[in-house]
Chain A
Amino acid sequence: MKDLIKDIESRFEVSDYIQKLDHLAFVTVEKEQAIALVTYLRDYRKFTSLTLLTAVDWLEDGVFQLTYLLNNPSELTEIGVRVMIDRENASMESAHHLWENMMTYQRELREMFGIDFPGSPRINEDFILEGWGDLPPYRRDFDTKVYSEETYFPRPGRQSNDPATYMKSKMYPNE
């Protein structure tokens, strides 16, 4: 794993690197180099299997973090390639030519986070939601509770408590 990271650092600009487990590491690279790194890992370092492509919404920093999680079946190692992309007009280079299932992950991110992948097949088709017209629901500035109350006729009379204060009042009423 150490050799691999050194090799990557000698070829690409790695801005951050975390070794989570012996066989699991995450590297953060610039947006322009990410697909090149993923291609390099697949073609020269035997990371032939795409485990997943996922996104995290860092609302406060104004970025989306994309993670390409790759698996090396022969050495049983995994590496995650992290990319930070701008939250405004979020767009990323498509990698559908590397794995067939990448297309589906990209469709999902397009629908749930609104991240565009220009050139990816069927990217603008509905994936799970049918005819969704609001903000993409996995964005953190989309308030799912308000949306649900406006849309789905909430039954009046539901009470909810803040778990911390409620449990405190139940279990330690004197403190």
Chain B
Amino acid sequence: MNKHKFEDLDVDKFLAPENQKRSVIAPDGSIVEVDPLKDYFCQDRPEVLKPKNGPVEKFLNWARAESLWVLGFGTGCGSIEIPPLVTPRFDMYRYGVQMRPTPRQSNVFIISGYLSVKTLKRAIRSYEQMPSPKYIIALGSCTINGGMYWDSYNTINRLDHYMPVDVYIAGCMPRPEALLAGFGKLKELIKAGKAEKANEYAENFDWYKANQKKIIKDWNMPDYNW
């Protein structure tokens, strides 16, 4: 009855056609081997990037804390709590928090609620594409212990086994005020130099990847998505 067993899992069959290994005939007639996963993506592991010393890093951390760019990525029911932040009532722009539509330009990733395995895969890709230093805010109890979906067959229970979390906001659902308080807490951590979770991710890269690959069974992407 099973469509494919985990034991005889062949990674290639999950690959989209344009990502399969193939040979292409170049304009001059020679045959070129193309392996898109290696050629189009950089597979290098992330490195631990040491902070600069002393007052310089302190000043940079102040700037990072006052300019938090949030990736517009909603994962669960909590994503409905983010849009009120740009309304006159909550107005997060006052605190230097702005929304960005692309992972390349954002520093903060709000995991807003439960994460199904399918979404976790996309969330990991987006997180790894963000430039370091980057921070994760886990919103709602689903990210802490699974919340009301704790025994579901396809939502994860503990986010910190798959991605490094800086700030947790408990509740189901937390109100936008709680989210603003979470931003305040994140600012404190950054200014104190304690928000170095991107480096922690690089240090424990193998552990995180093992956990991710345990549940993402159709792993059809590079190990680290630059």
| Interface residues, chain A, with chain B CB atoms under 8 Å away | 111, 114, 124, 126, 128-137, 142, 144-145, 147-149, 151-155, 158
Contacts and interface: CB of A to CB of B under 8 A. Distances in A.
Given A129-B118, A133-B9, A148 B211 contact: no
Contacts of A126: 218
Contacts of A158: 145, 150
Nearest to B156: A152
A155 B145 contact: yes
Contacts of B37: none
Contacts of A130: 14, 117-118, 121, 216-218
B151 A145 contact: yes
B1 A154 contact: no
Nearest to B6: A133
Contacts of B158: 152-155
Contact of A114 (B1, B9, B151): B1
B145 A124 contact: no
B157 interface: yes
B215 A151 contact: yes
Contacts of A148: 146, 150-153, 157
B152 to A, nearest CB: 6
Interface string B55-79: 0000000000000000000000000
A154 B145 contact: yes
Interface string B113-128: 0000110010000000
B8 to A, nearest CB: 10
Given A153-B211, A155-B144, A131 B151 contact: no
Nearest to A142: B153
Contacts of A114: 1
A107 B156 CA distance: 24
Contact of A152 (B5, B121, B215): B215
A149 B146 CA distance: 11
A42 B40 CA distance: 51
Nearest to A110: B3
A105 B129 CA distance: 35
B21 interface: no
B157 A132 contact: no
Given A130-B216, A155-B144, A158-B150, 16 more contacts: A114-B1, A128-B118, A129-B154, A130-B217, A130-B218, A131-B4, A131-B217, A132-B217, A136-B1, A137-B153, A148-B157, A151-B215, A152-B157, A153-B211, A154-B150, A155-B146
Instruction: List 8 A-B pairs, minimum CB-CB distance, nearest first.
Output: A131-B218, A131-B217, A155-B145, A133-B6, A145-B151, A152-B157, A144-B153, A130-B218
B2 A154 contact: no
B214 interface: yes
A152 B146 contact: yes
Contacts of A147: 153
18 contacts: A129-B117, A130-B218, A131-B217, A132-B217, A133-B5, A133-B6, A133-B9, A135-B2, A144-B151, A145-B151, A148-B152, A148-B153, A151-B215, A152-B146, A152-B158, A154-B157, A154-B158, A155-B146
